[in-house]
């Protein structure tokens, strides 16, 4: 474990390198190299510990000194592996991304420093064992993400979007303070390893759970706390939005799973609460995504969907915990954990892909894209792999984790009987519905962005070797987990056996016939290759050529006459008009010689525009009422603080 | 014993692969008879396929690698889905716990590439078809789960083969449940296989169709592969439908095959009658039609659960 700290130290050196080196380019190269070295070393250590050690020993010492600040239990290591695994290709991309800004002569130092701090603090968050250390790292993570986000701070939308993120992260931290103080009050310890409260403590148990679910749920982006995601993601630099969506929102999931370790077994209604909220997040997340035209905003809504899918797994696990059923817990939590890994991989891939597109085209509006496939064939292939994976379609990794969750539904129905088959069936239908919408959404963006002909002229489309490398690593992971899931299932199983569902060797996760599934995938792949060659032979024999698409005999088709993203999603949006707040403005061309017509469609977020924003507005107007206390002189404020402190101390004094 | 069951599985798959165009031919022939025409020969789909096979392949100037691989992926995934279905009571080649999910998602993969390939042409006609396919698929997916899936959940079984075997006629409520399920699946089959009243397989009018418009610009071997996989898909849904008609308690292979043949024939008659007497819906009404089928499924399931 000493090595892990060396790895972290190497990463910290990158900040020093930025400080020392005067030349921007050299600083960038040195910092990235140090970060990647540190991350690879760290990943090697944490991964080998997770896979090879027996994980039974909870104690830990660094450099021979026993230490309670950090702990390397299965859950922490699993998340540490995810963070480091995803951070490696993201850092590779970061180099190429910042190079682009360097060429423009912009200073990238601050951005790079915040990125390094973000990486280090996120790694520390998942291995922290002391509540205070956890909160410090958490705060560092949130703040550095915010500071990195405002890279282009001169833009108005950047300030606005980042502000939402800043507010939400402080609300989260505030709630977490209460959460950990209450835990400390109950257990008289600050250490995660000592936190354990049984349901007998009644209301406190429930209060702690609700507190944790709200706090971590806000960070994860469950509905109705999802509103910061579609605001913060589009404006952040691509590196940060990839990391935000891939890793930081997962820290919320990490928190919820940790809470489960502190507070179990859960009551059944809590499982249902999580399941229903997650289902709503999944369905509406993807539905809102369908209505978006901004590629990054669309992907942000997809994060809400996928967090929902992870939450469904957690909900199943909670229900299993309520009934003390090991198979249900294994499948529920197992699906959630694997989907956390999978989502981190394919969402980073998609975000980095969108960053590459933005760099080349200078727009995030998918209505202005098209025909990219003729410019960068391999880039499109990589993006397509991510799209198929996120839609949960075989043979890639998204399917594997969704398959586990489906199995969770089946097992819950089988184990708990009664009305459970019906309820689980409805949940399965919900997940299938989400899958269908995701297919609609990702066929939309892939076809509009990449296929057909160019709607707006593309001057040049260049994907650098670093970008290919980072996208390639992610795509490879998608493929590997899809085609050969056994080792990953094994790791998830091990994590669950240590700390979640103890004392269980014959796992439900391993009982699924993974071998057969990968065999089928291989068959599909080889079948496709075989028929592809057969087809090309047949084509050679009977000829093939290229010709213009049929246009009712009209030869002057222009790229603008292609199908658009709005029309593609129109039918689905029409159906859910009220929820999407979807409205259209149309000016129909009239007369025998029509001159002009116009069409505009717009969609909003119901939760956002009709519920949350009015609440915020009311709060702010309420706060404005106490405006009479505002003075220009800072000494008044110091006096206020003193008065408040003395009131507090008086109360505390009298209390005792 | 193992070898024989494997052999039966292979025979089942071959039957599906070989007979699926015949089923389409049968439906078309019956439809022609009901409308008072002589109609094309029974084997017309085979002739069509043969003709397409020998034609030149033409791709759009806009098309990319998607158009090249999509027909192949379509065929392979549909064949893999077909390999999960039992004929008679033979265990299919692909059969494991949870294959019902893989079945649904394999067809999803086929759809994903079909839609992409349609958009790859870069023409508005294909775009319309693709958008409709994506929209209706969203509403079609729940029907599958509320019918076949509900049997899986009620009986605690996750393999299509086991689900077939679990269907038994022990009480009236179960019988009613199965019959209504089969009606729901019929609706689903009509949507998924682009038959009347959702889609008209015979027209090429861009404003009125879904599946046909997506393959409008394809020709030669590409069209051959698309057509063949659409025949297969129709046959797959027909076999799903037969699954509801095995509740006779007899578990012998011959009886299973006989029932299979009878049900397929009845189904082709039903399909041709429904195609004769109904006209196409307005596009706007199709989601309602699908939600209606879903509602039947839900109600049916609720009634069954509460009367059990």
Contact check, Cβ <8 Å, B123/A437: no
Closest by CA to B80, choosing from B116, B113, B52, B108, is B108
In-domain check, residue A141: no
pLDDT band at B207 (very low <50, low <70, confident <90, very high): low
Contact check, Cβ <8 Å, B153/A424: yes
Site from B67, B71, B98 to mutate, A interface, most A CB atoms within 10 angstroms:
B98
Find residues 120-149 of chain A whose CB sits inside 8 Å of chain B.
none
Which residues in chain A touch residue B128, judged by CB atoms under 8 angstroms apart? 563
Beta carbons of A405 and A316 less than 8 angstroms apart: yes
Contact check, Cβ <8 Å, B138/A548: no
Helix (H) or strand (E) holding B140: helix B124-144
Which residues in chain A touch residue B67, judged by CB atoms under 8 angstroms apart? none
* A486 and A572 co-located in one domain: no
Contact check, Cβ <8 Å, A535/B120: no
**Interchain CB contact of A446 with B (< 8 Å):** yes
Beta carbons of A294 and A237 less than 8 angstroms apart: no
* Separation in Å, CA of A338 to nearest CA in chain B: 18
User: Does the pLDDT at position B29 exceed 80?
Assistant: yes
In-domain check, residue A97: no
**CA B291 vs CA B78, B193, B282, B294, B297: distances in Å:** 25, 17, 15, 5, 10
**CA A169 vs CA A152, A220, A225, A418: distances in Å:** 20, 11, 11, 42
Please give the pLDDT value at position A651.
Answer: 92
Find residues 398-427 of chain A whose CB sits inside 8 Å of chain B.
399, 403, 406-407, 409-410, 413-414, 419, 421-422, 424-425
* A399 and A295 co-located in one domain: yes
* A286 and A382 co-located in one domain: yes
- Which residue has tokens 């659409």? B230
Angle ∠(B224,B227,B230) on CA atoms, nearest 5: 145
Cβ-based burial of A367 (10 A; exposed 0-12, middle 13-18, buried ≥19): middle
Please give the pLDDT value at position A137.
Answer: 93
Sign of CA dihedral A59, A62, A66, A69: negative
In-domain check, residue A461: yes
Contact check, Cβ <8 Å, B287/A575: yes
**Torsion angle of the four alpha carbons B266, B106, B130, A564, in this order, in degrees rounded to the nearest 10:** 160
Tokens of A60: 């830990």
In-domain check, residue A47: no
Contact check, Cβ <8 Å, B134/A394: no
Q: What distance in Å separates the CA atoms of residue A46 and residue A170, rounded to the nearest whole number?
A: 30
- Give me the average pLDDT of each 10-residue run along chain A (656 residues): 83 88 86 91 90 68 70 87 93 90 83 91 90 92 91 84 89 92 86 82 86 92 86 88 90 92 86 93 89 89 93 93 88 92 93 91 86 88 93 90 91 84 89 91 90 83 90 93 90 84 69 86 93 91 84 76 82 77 79 79 76 83 78 84 93 84
Q: Helix-strand-coil percent breakdown of chain B, rounded to 5?
A: 70, 0, 25
Where is pLDDT greater, at A442 or B249?
A442
Contact check, Cβ <8 Å, A394/B217: no
* A598 and A612 co-located in one domain: no
Contact check, Cβ <8 Å, B60/A520: no
Q: What distance in Å separates the CA atoms of residue A248 and residue A228, rounded to the nearest whole number?
A: 13
Which residues in chain B touch residue A539, judged by CB atoms under 8 angstroms apart? 57, 220-221
| CB pairs < 8 Å spanning A and B | 240
Which residues in chain B touch residue A381, judged by CB atoms under 8 angstroms apart? 65
**Interchain CB contact of A527 with B (< 8 Å):** yes
Beta carbons of A418 and A425 less than 8 angstroms apart: no
Beta carbons of A322 and A265 less than 8 angstroms apart: yes
Q: What distance in Å separates the CA atoms of residue A112 and residue A116, rounded to the nearest whole number?
A: 6
Contact check, Cβ <8 Å, A535/B221: yes
- Give the phi and the psi of residue A632 in degrees, each rounded to 5: -85, -20
* A581 and A646 co-located in one domain: no
Q: What distance in Å separates the CA atoms of residue A133 and residue B222, rounded to the nearest whole number?
A: 61
**CA B234 vs CA A103, A278, B8, B186: distances in Å:** 57, 35, 22, 11
**Interchain CB contact of A544 with B (< 8 Å):** yes
Please tell me which residue of chain A has the smallest CA distance to B130. A568
Q: Which domain holds residue A637?
A: 607-655
- Which residue has tokens 């009050």? A185
Which residues in chain A touch residue B305, judged by CB atoms under 8 angstroms apart? 419, 421-422
Beta carbons of B88 and B125 less than 8 angstroms apart: no
Q: What distance in Å separates the CA atoms of residue A477 and residue A483, rounded to the nearest whole number?
A: 10
- pLDDT tens digits, residue range A223-247? 888 888 888 888 888 899 899 888 9
Q: Where are the domains of chain B?
A: 2-307
* A598 and A470 co-located in one domain: no
Task: Give the total number of structural domains in chain A.
Answer: 3
Nearest to A542 among B55, B96, B122 (CB): B55
Q: What is the DSSP string of A520-551?
A: HHHHHHHHHHHHHHHHHHHHHHH-EEEEPPP-
Closest by CA to B152, choosing from A342, A151, A11, A406, is A406
Which residues in chain A touch residue B156, judged by CB atoms under 8 angstroms apart? 410, 413-414, 421
Which residues in chain A touch residue B122, judged by CB atoms under 8 angstroms apart? 371, 451-453, 549, 559, 562
pTM: 0.92
- Tell me the mean pLDDT in the region B257-279: 86
* A361 and A417 co-located in one domain: yes
Please give the pLDDT value at position A303.
Answer: 92
* Separation in Å, CA of A547 to nearest CA in chain B: 5
In-domain check, residue A145: no
User: What 8-state DSSP symbol labels residue B280?
Assistant: P
Nearest to B221 among A539, A548, A550 (CB): A539
Q: What distance in Å separates the CA atoms of residue B148 and residue A599, rounded to the nearest whole number?
A: 43
Which residues in chain A touch residue B221, judged by CB atoms under 8 angstroms apart? 535, 538-539, 542
* Separation in Å, CA of A2 to nearest CA in chain B: 44
Contact check, Cβ <8 Å, B142/A545: no
Closest by CA to A92, choosing from A229, A236, A242, is A242
Tokens of A8: 């972290």
* Separation in Å, CA of B63 to nearest CA in chain A: 7
Please tell me which residue of chain A has the smallest CA distance to B115. A443
Which residues in chain B touch residue A546, judged by CB atoms under 8 angstroms apart? 58-61, 63
In-domain check, residue A323: yes
Tokens of B143: 């029907």
* A440 and A577 co-located in one domain: no
**CA A90 vs CA A77, A238, A341, A384, B128: distances in Å:** 20, 10, 15, 18, 37
Name the β-bridge partners of A70. Answer: A128
**Interchain CB contact of A452 with B (< 8 Å):** yes
Contact check, Cβ <8 Å, A567/B127: yes
User: What 8-state DSSP symbol labels residue A294?
Assistant: B
Beta carbons of A383 and A349 less than 8 angstroms apart: yes
Q: What distance in Å separates the CA atoms of residue A443 and residue B114, rounded to the nearest whole number?
A: 10
Beta carbons of A112 and A27 less than 8 angstroms apart: yes
Contact check, Cβ <8 Å, A451/B154: no
Nearest to A550 among B116, B141, B217 (CB): B217
Site from B123, B214, B299, B308 to mutate, A interface, most A CB atoms within 10 angstroms:
B123
Q: What distance in Å separates the CA atoms of residue B291 and residue B5, rounded to the nearest whole number?
A: 39
Beta carbons of A469 and A95 less than 8 angstroms apart: no
Please give the pLDDT value at position A61.
Answer: 61
**Interchain CB contact of A643 with B (< 8 Å):** no
Q: What distance in Å separates the CA atoms of residue B270 and residue B245, rounded to the nearest whole number?
A: 15
Q: Helix-strand-coil percent breakdown of chain A, rounded to 5?
A: 75, 5, 20
Q: What distance in Å separates the CA atoms of residue A119 and residue A112, rounded to the nearest whole number?
A: 11
Which residues in chain B touch residue A451, judged by CB atoms under 8 angstroms apart? 62, 64, 66, 116, 119-120, 122
Nearest to A435 among B108, B131, B152 (CB): B108
In-domain check, residue A346: yes
**Interchain CB contact of A546 with B (< 8 Å):** yes
Task: Label residues A120-149 b or e (16+ Cβ within 10 Å = b).
Answer: bbbbbbbbbbbbebbbebbbbbbbbbbbbb
Question: Does residue B197 have a cis peptide bond before it, meaning omega lies within 30 degrees of 0?
Answer: yes
Please tell me which residue of chain B has the smallest CA distance to A451. B120
């Amino acid at each position: 474990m000493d090595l892990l700290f060396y790895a972290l130290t190497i990463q910290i050196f990158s900040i020093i390198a930025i400080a020392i080196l005067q030349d921007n380019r050299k600083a960038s190269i040195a910092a990235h190299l140090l970060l990647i070295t540190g991350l690879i070393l760290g990943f090697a250590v944490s991964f080998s510990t997770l896979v090879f050690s027996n994980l039974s020993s909870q104690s830990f010492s660094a450099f021979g000194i026993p230490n309670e600040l950090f702990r390397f239990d299965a859950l922490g290591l699993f998340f540490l592996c995810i963070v480091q695994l995803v951070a490696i290709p993201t850092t590779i991309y970061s180099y190429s991304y910042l190079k682009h800004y360097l060429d423009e002569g912009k200073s990238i130092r601050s951005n790079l420093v915040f990125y390094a701090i973000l990486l280090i603090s996120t790694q520390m968050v998942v291995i922290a064992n002391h509540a205070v250390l956890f909160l410090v790292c958490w705060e560092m993570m949130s703040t550095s993400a915010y500071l990195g986000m405002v890279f282009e701070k001169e833009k108005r939308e950047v300030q606005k979007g980042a502000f939402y993120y800043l507010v939400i992260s402080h609300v989260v931290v505030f709630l977490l303070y209460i959460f950990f103080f209450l835990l400390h009050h109950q257990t008289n310890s600050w250490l995660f390893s000592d936190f354990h409260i049984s349901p007998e403590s009644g209301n406190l148990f429930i209060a702690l759970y609700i507190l944790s679910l709200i706090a971590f749920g806000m960070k994860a982006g469950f509905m109705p706390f999802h509103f910061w995601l579609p605001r913060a993601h589009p404006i952040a630099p691509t590196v940060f939005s990839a990391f935000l969506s891939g890793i930081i929102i997962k820290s919320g999931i990490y928190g919820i799973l940790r809470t489960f370790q502190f507070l179990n077994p859960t009551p059944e209604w809590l499982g249902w609460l999580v399941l229903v909220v997650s289902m709503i997040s999944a369905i509406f997340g993807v539905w809102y995504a369908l209505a978006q035209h901004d590629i990054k905003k669309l992907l942000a809504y997809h994060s809400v969907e996928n967090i929902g899918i992870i939450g469904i797994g957690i909900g199943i696990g909670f229900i299993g915990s309520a009934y003390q059923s090991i198979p249900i817990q294994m499948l529920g939590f197992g699906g959630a954990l694997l989907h956390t890994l999978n989502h981190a991989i394919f969402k980073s891939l998609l975000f980095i892909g969108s960053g590459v597109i933005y760099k080349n085209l200078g727009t995030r509006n998918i209505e202005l894209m098209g025909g990219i496939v003729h410019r960068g064939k391999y880039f499109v292939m990589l993006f397509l792999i991510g799209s198929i994976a996120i839609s949960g379609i075989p043979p890639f990794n998204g399917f594997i984790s969704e398959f586990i969750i489906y199995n969770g539904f089946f097992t819950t129905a089988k184990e708990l009987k009664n009305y459970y088959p019906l309820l689980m069936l409805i949940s399965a239908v919900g997940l299938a519905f989400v899958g269908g919408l995701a297919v609609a959404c990702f066929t939309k963006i892939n076809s509009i962005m990449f296929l057909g002909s160019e709607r707006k002229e593309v001057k040049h489309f260049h994907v650098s070797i670093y970008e290919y490398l980072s996208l390639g690593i992610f795509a490879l992971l998608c493929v590997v987990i899809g085609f050969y899931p056994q080792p990953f299932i094994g790791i998830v199983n091990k994590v669950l056996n240590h700390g979640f569902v103890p004392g269980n060797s014959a796992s439900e996760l391993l009982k699924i016939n993974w071998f057969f599934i990968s065999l089928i995938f291989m068959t599909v792949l080889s079948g496709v290759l075989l028929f592809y060659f057969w087809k090309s032979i047949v084509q050679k024999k009977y000829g093939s050529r290229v010709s213009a698409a049929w246009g009712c005999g009209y030869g002057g088709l222009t790229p603008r006459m292609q199908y658009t993203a709005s029309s593609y999603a129109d039918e689905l949006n029409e159906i859910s008009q009220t929820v999407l707040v979807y409205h259209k403005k149309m000016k129909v061309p009239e007369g025998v010689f029509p001159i002009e017509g116009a069409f505009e469609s717009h969609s909003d977020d119901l939760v956002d525009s009709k519920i949350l924003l009015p609440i915020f507005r009311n709060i702010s107007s309420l706060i404005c009422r106490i405006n009479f206390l505002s003075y220009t002189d800072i000494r008044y404020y110091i006096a206020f603080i003193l008065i408040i402190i003395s009131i507090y101390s008086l109360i505390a004094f009298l209390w005792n | 014993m193992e070898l024989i069951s494997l052999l039966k599985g292979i025979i089942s798959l071959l039957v599906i692969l070989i007979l699926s165009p015949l089923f389409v031919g049968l439906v078309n022939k019956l439809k022609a008879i009901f409308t008072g025409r002589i109609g094309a020969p029974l084997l017309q789909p085979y002739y069509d396929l043969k003709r397409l096979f020998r034609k030149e392949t033409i791709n759009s100037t806009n098309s990319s690698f998607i158009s090249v691989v999509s027909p192949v992926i379509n065929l392979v995934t549909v064949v893999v889905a077909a390999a999960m279905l039992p004929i008679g009571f033979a265990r299919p080649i692909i059969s494991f716990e949870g294959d019902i999910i893989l079945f649904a998602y394999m067809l999803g993969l086929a759809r994903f590439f079909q839609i992409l390939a349609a958009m790859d042409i870069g023409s508005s006609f294909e775009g319309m078809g693709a958008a409709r396919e994506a929209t209706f698929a969203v509403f079609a997916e729940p029907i599958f789960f509320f019918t076949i899936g509900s049997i899986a959940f009620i009986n605690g079984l996750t393999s299509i083969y086991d689900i077939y075997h679990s269907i038994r006629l022990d009480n009236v409520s179960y019988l009613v449940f199965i019959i209504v399920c089969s009606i729901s699946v019929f609706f689903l089959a009509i949507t998924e296989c682009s038959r009347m009243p959702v889609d008209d397989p015979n027209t090429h009018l861009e404003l009125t169709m879904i599946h046909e418009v997506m393959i409008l610009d394809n020709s030669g071997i590409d069209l051959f592969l698309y057509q063949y996989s659409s025949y297969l898909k129709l046959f797959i849904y027909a076999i799903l439908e037969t699954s509801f008609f095995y509740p006779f308690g007899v578990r012998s292979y011959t009886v299973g095959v006989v029932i299979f043949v009878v049900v397929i024939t009845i189904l082709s008659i039903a399909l041709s009658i429904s195609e004769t007497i109904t006209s196409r819906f307005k596009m706007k009404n199709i989601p309602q039609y699908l939600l209606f089928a879903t509602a039947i499924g839900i109600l049916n399931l609720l009634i069954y659960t509460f009367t059990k």
